[in-house]
Amino acid sequence: MCNNQLHQFLHALPKCEHHVHIEGTISPELLFNLASRNKISLPMDDSAFESPATLRARYDKFTSLDDFLHYYFIGFSVLLEASDFEALTYDYLSLAYSQGVHHAEIFFDPQAHVLRGVAYQTIISGLNAAKQRAQRDFPKLSVEFIPCLLRHLPVPSGHGMLAELLETGHFFDGTLVGFGMSSTELEMHPSLYKEIYEAARAAGVANLTAHYGEEGPPDYVKDALSLLGVRRIDHGRRSAEDEELIAQLADTGTMLTLCPLSNVVLKGVESMQELPIRRFLDANVRFSINSDDPAYFGGYVLENYCAVQEAFGLSVDDWGKIARGAITGSWCSHTRKEQLLKEVEEVLQQWV
């Protein structure tokens, strides 16, 4: 945990999380428990799966996004029942709330679950049950869900998943707040997904996002904006390498959902200090700070805030700018944004 004198302030500051994969919140202990309860066999030929301790030790040695994804997809194959998704989501929400998260937009990967025989309805009923329980228990918390397409699967499978999601009507009844895309990035150019995003837009899904600029070059971010019509970029870290793109992001108010600990653990950067946090702040690029896959990357939202503070020594004014930007970039109602902004201003006033 952060020893910096601003730790208490960062804890108290109402935070928005826009980039957490619910499947990335499974601890090694829970993973082994669920594997045993649901009779899912873990790979016998990988010594990392000998015990929770050996698995956790393997997480310290990730070499890249794809190296992590290999473990992430095996890890979430232990989720079977709606109650598994409910418990995972409720536990994440209670931990996030204890760290001062007041608005959470949670990713999940329906395509991979459906392909291994877990119905979309099973997943969503678990997520919804957790949301209802959390909103009852944590009155200052709002929760939204965003399904992500997976780029390592064939493009036609993505078309099929979008069609299934559209048929449920869940984009228009408050169940799903937007539509995203994740998984492997290099060589997965946005042009491959143009028709899928066009179909989503044509059906009336306005809140579109995609993971780009995590490992891929700034051109992927530019092309995601122009070809896919995304309103937000998940990660977007490498946008800082292109001055024109920085200006475009600032002018359009496009939010980047940065994941600092994730970038360090997956070796996108050698150290936290290499992240373009100061550059984005100075250029008025809106961003939020997020945990991505907290069970794998050594920290939830507050640990990410503290790590950024340790590396950059930001001021209360800087954090005010980050907090307001994250609220403005959230996918919630105008009224909810006003509430969140009020809560942030109350905390900021105590610290000026």
The response to whether 103 counts as a known ligand-binding position is no
Out of 65, 96, 265, 314, the only residue in the binding site for ligand HPA (CB under 6 A) is 65
Cα(257)–Cα(330) distance, integer angstroms: 10
Q: Collapsing DSSP states into helix, strand and coil, what is residue 256?
A: strand
Site string for ligand HPA, 25-64 (x = CB under 6 A): ----------------------------------------
The response to whether 113 counts as a known ligand-binding position is no
The response to whether 211 counts as a known ligand-binding position is yes
**Cβ closest to ligand HPA, residue 22 vs residue 249:** 22
Cα(78)–Cα(282) distance, integer angstroms: 44
- As given in the structure block, the two tokens for residue 157 are 């499978």
Out of 89, 142, 209, 262, the only residue in the binding site for ligand HPA (CB under 6 A) is 262
The response to whether 21 counts as a known ligand-binding position is yes
Distance in angstroms between the alpha carbons of the first and the last residue of the chain? 23
Kindly tell me the burial class for residue 235, based on how many C-beta atoms sit within 10 Å of its own C-beta (0-12, 13-18, 19 or more): buried
Q: Does 292 bind Zn ion (CB under 5 A)?
A: yes
Amino acid (one-letter) located at 146: I
Tell the smallest beta-carbon distance from residue 333 to ligand HPA (Å). 27
- As given in the structure block, the two tokens for residue 212 are 């780009």
Cα(318)–Cα(282) distance, integer angstroms: 10
**Cβ closest to ligand HPA, residue 24 vs residue 147:** 24
Q: Does 131 bind ligand HPA (CB under 6 A)?
A: no
Q: Which residues pair with 301 in a beta bridge?
A: none
Tell the smallest beta-carbon distance from residue 290 to ligand HPA (Å). 10
Q: Does 109 bind Zn ion (CB under 5 A)?
A: no
CB 161 within 8 A of CB 115: no
Tell the smallest beta-carbon distance from residue 71 to ligand HPA (Å). 11
- Would residue 214 show up in a list of annotated catalytic residues for this protein? yes
Cα(242)–Cα(222) distance, integer angstroms: 10
Cα(85)–Cα(3) distance, integer angstroms: 34
Out of 6, 16, 18, 21, the only residue in the binding site for ligand HPA (CB under 6 A) is 21
Out of 17, 144, 292, 343, the only residue in the binding site for ligand HPA (CB under 6 A) is 292
**Which of 214, 215, 303, 343 is flagged as catalytic?**
214
- As given in the structure block, the two tokens for residue 344 are 């942030």
Cα(260)–Cα(303) distance, integer angstroms: 10
Residues 150-209 that bind ligand HPA (CB under 6 A): 182-183
Choose the one of Zn ion, ligand HPA, none that binds residue 214, judging by a C-beta under 5 to 8 angstroms depending on kind: ligand HPA
Alpha carbon of residue 245 to chain centroid = 22
Which residues of the shown chain bind ligand HPA in the complex (CB under 6 A)? Answer: 21, 24, 65, 72, 182-183, 211, 214, 262, 292-293
